[in-house]
Amino acid sequence: MTPADAMTQTDCNTAPETMGDLQMLLRDEFGRQGIESTPLPAYLTSSLNPAMRLRDYQAECFRYFITYWEKLTFGKEAQPHLLFHMATGSGKTLIMAGLILYLYEKGYRNFLFFVSSTNIIDKTRDNLTNPVSPKYLFAHSIDIDQRKVVVRPVDDFGDSRDDCINLCLTTTQGLHSALSSPCEGGLTYDDFASASVVMISDEAHHVNVATKRGGKGSGGTSPGSVAEPVDWESTVMRIFHTPHESPLPTCCSTLPPPRISPIRLLPQNTATR
């Protein structure tokens, strides 16, 4: 965030001047100097690709997120659903990689990363799971709390390992199809009912099918209910509302308007269009 302008309850097409400013609330509550002095975990330097040093606004983005996660005690969702509203080319996947490391340290082990298209998922798979790729986002040795951690690609979370980042990558359509027609060795709603899963959505505006057509996109169902979600957004929200905590950081790319920072961290209480 250069500077960090808005941590807001909004959709990503709302004009900046009409946004409620929750990021300002953080600055009012903790002070800009207090946020700027928030220490970044060492692994955000040592365990991300050293050739991809964090830019100043990315480091500031992490400081706002950490302040929100660790210090905010009011006006905060019990189950965080946040939007990183980022300009094209501002490094959103690197931010997501750093969030994976941070949330692993906080006790999460299972991560579902879903994107809008097969082309993007292939690039993301290279970025997050292929150490020989020139665009691999992690360091070759990931160390968190003096422990070696491995990024482990999985198809489901049935055999998750506690010493690994268990990472499932899929498209939004593939996720919806897998959960609508479950098969052996694939994701099912049971994966989310039995363990906490961090859900990370790239290009989040593509998910909001129900919102675009004027619905609420709340899912309207819960595990064990008879009605099945009928669109991608409802599927995602059904997972989000499972009994186990499933934080949902999302990304939405946009061209930066004048004087607006390339990263905006927004509470996602309302859906992105």
pLDDT digits (tens, 9 = 90+) for 57-98: 899 889 988 988 888 776 666 677 777 777 778 888 999 999
Structure letter (DSSP) for residue 191: H
The strands making up 142-144's β-sheet, listed across from edge to edge, are: 142-144, 147-153, 164-171, 110-115, 197-201, 248-254, 81-87, 263-267
pLDDT digits (tens, 9 = 90+) for 5-49: 334 333 334 333 333 456 677 777 787 778 888 999 999 999 999
The DSSP symbol for 92 reads H
- Map residue 88 onto helix, strand or coil: coil
Task: Decide if 173 contacts 183 (C-beta within 8 A).
Answer: no
- Give the Cβ contact number of residue 66 at 10 Å: 17
Residue with tokens 């019990």: 78
98 vs 100: CA distance, rounded Å: 5
**Can you tell me the distance from the alpha carbon of 262 to that of 1, in angstroms, rounded to the nearest whole number?**
6
**pLDDT for 8:** 38
pTM score: 0.75
pLDDT tens figures, 208-260: 444 444 554 444 444 444 345 456 567 767 776 665 555 655 554 444 433 33
Q: Give CA–CA dist 58/152, Å, rounded.
A: 25
State the pLDDT at residue 205. Answer: 47
Q: What is the DSSP letter of 67?
A: H
Amino acid at 251: C
DSSP alpha helices (H): ranges in 130-267? 172-180, 189-193, 209-212, 232-240
Are 209 and 176 spatial neighbours (Cβ–Cβ below 8 Å)?
no
Three-state secondary-structure class, residue 208: coil
Compute the distance between CA of residue 271 and CA of residue 134 in angstroms, rounded to an integer.
34
Q: What tokens does 22 get?
A: 């929750």
